[in-house]
Every structure is written in C-alpha cells, then in structure tokens.
Amino acid sequence: MDERDPSQSPPSGFRGRVIAAGDSQVSNGNIANIITVARILLAPLFVWLVLLDGGAHGVWRWVAAGLFIAAIATDGVDGALARRRNLVTTSGILLDPIADKVLIGGGLIALALVSELPWWVVIVILVREIGITLMRMAVLSDRVIPASRGGKLKTILQAITLSSWLVPSWVVLGSWVFVMNWVLMGGVIVLTVVTGLDYIGKGLRAPKASA
C-alpha cells in the first residue's frame, strides 16, 4: 500500500547504512528491508497455523489471525522508515508490494484450503493481482502506469476483509458475522475487477516514457 519512490533509490549491496540516517551508501540489509522480509516470512507461518487448526476455530486459528493482522498492519512502516532515514533501495522498492500480495494471497489460499472460501474467489483475486503486476513490469521501460486511488482502497479493503474472515469472531458474536464477511468480500471482488480493468485501460492509454 505504501510505495517507495524509485527515483530516490541508489545502487546498493550489503555494505552501508543499516539503521542510521544520512546520505552515504545504504545496505540492502537495512532495517526497512528487514521488516519487509519479515512480513513476507510471516505468510507461510500463518497459513500453516490455519491448516494446523483444521477449521476447529481454536487457539491456532486465533494465533494465525493475529500474525496476519500484525503483518498487514505494519504495511507502510518499512516504507516510512526507508524514506525518513534515506534507506530507500531498489530491492526494497521491489519487495514492498510483493509483501502485500504474498500476505493477501496467503490469507485467501489458507481460507480456501480449509473450505471456508470458494476457490473461484481466490482465483479471481489472484489472477488480477498477478496479472496487473506482470503487466506493469512488462511495460515499465516503455511507459509509466500511475497508481490509482481505487487500487489503494482495494488493498485496504482486502486487508480488513481477510482479517475479519481469519478471526473466528462468530464463535463469540454469532452467525451475523458471516453475513458481514460476505458483504466485505463482495466489495473486494467488485473493487478487484473494476480496478484491474482500470489499470489495463491506463496501460493502453499511458504515454510512453521519455528516454
């Protein structure tokens, strides 16, 4: 959700600043990138915990939901650190949006694997996410496709919706939670499709980048 500015990213290896602010060389192993990688590594862990729970909605499900919420809630922390402390790197720019997609994809797949979410919903969302990402990468050297407000809203709604689906709050609050969850997921599906078509249109209309 919180994209870093590619224009501020110097070439970087693993030598240089890790935490300190400044203008000298930045390490790819800086604190912002470490947070991003940690968010990515949490995805297989919470998926495994959802499967370990096996649909029982017990302690492992609550732990899995907590890990997902912690990982998705820290989105933006890595980017903010990178900008404020001048720790922006090319690897960080690439990893930050990947972390979001891995977390969202992991949450969707976990729910489908325990038969709580239909696979067609997972396919629609992941095809859009992967397809648009590949399209933007393919045309990156030729033209720039600007991020849209709808795309950002879609990502926020995905995070809220998956958090609500993963937390088994219906155990405490009752079955009305299922209705709310499906209303939220319906909004995610609509925004996913609409913003995907919008990005495709922008890609076709976007002017070629100047050399």
Domain ranges of the chain: 6-205
Q: What is the DSSP secondary-structure string of 81-124?
A: HHHHTT---HHHHHHHHHHHHHHHHHHHHHHHHTTSS-HHHHHH
Rounded distance between C-alpha atoms, residue 199 and residue 146, angstroms: 8
Q: Minimum mean pLDDT among 7-11, 37-41, 126-130: which range? A: 7-11
Q: How far apart are CA 42 and CA 2, in angstroms?
A: 19
Is the full-model pTM beyond 0.85? Answer: no
What pLDDT does 84 receive? 78
Residue 146 tokens, joined: 């600007």
The mean pLDDT of the chain is: 82
Q: What is the predicted pLDDT for the residue at 187?
A: 95
Q: Give residue for tokens 């990178």.
A: 82
54 vs 31: which has the higher pLDDT:
54
Residues 184, 176, 71, 54, Cα dihedral to 10°:
-120
Whole-number Å distance between alpha carbons of 73 and 125: 20
Q: End-to-end distance of the chain based on CA atoms, in angstroms?
A: 28
More confident residue, 20 or 64: 64
Query: What was the pLDDT predicted at 3?
Result: 47
Architecture of the domain defined by 6-205: Up-down Bundle (1.20)
Could you report the per-residue pLDDT of 149-162, keeping only the tens digit for each?
Answer: 777 888 899 999 99
* pLDDT reading at 208 higher than 70: no
Dihedral sign (CA 142, 147, 148, 154): positive
- List pLDDT tens digits, range 194-204: 988 887 777 66
Q: b/e for 136-163, b at 16 or more Cβ within 10 A?
A: beebeeeeebeeeeebeebbebbbebbb
Instruction: Kindly state the average pLDDT of the residues 75-96.
Output: 75
Q: Are 66 and 105 in contact (CB under 8 A)?
A: no
pLDDT band for position 44 (50/70/90)?
very high
Q: Tell me: pLDDT of 6 over 60.
A: no
Return the top range by mean pLDDT from 41-45, 79-83, 86-90, 195-199: 41-45
Say whether 26 sits in a helix, a strand or coil. strand
211 band by pLDDT with thresholds 50, 70 and 90 = very low
Average of pLDDT values for 26-33?
Answer: 77
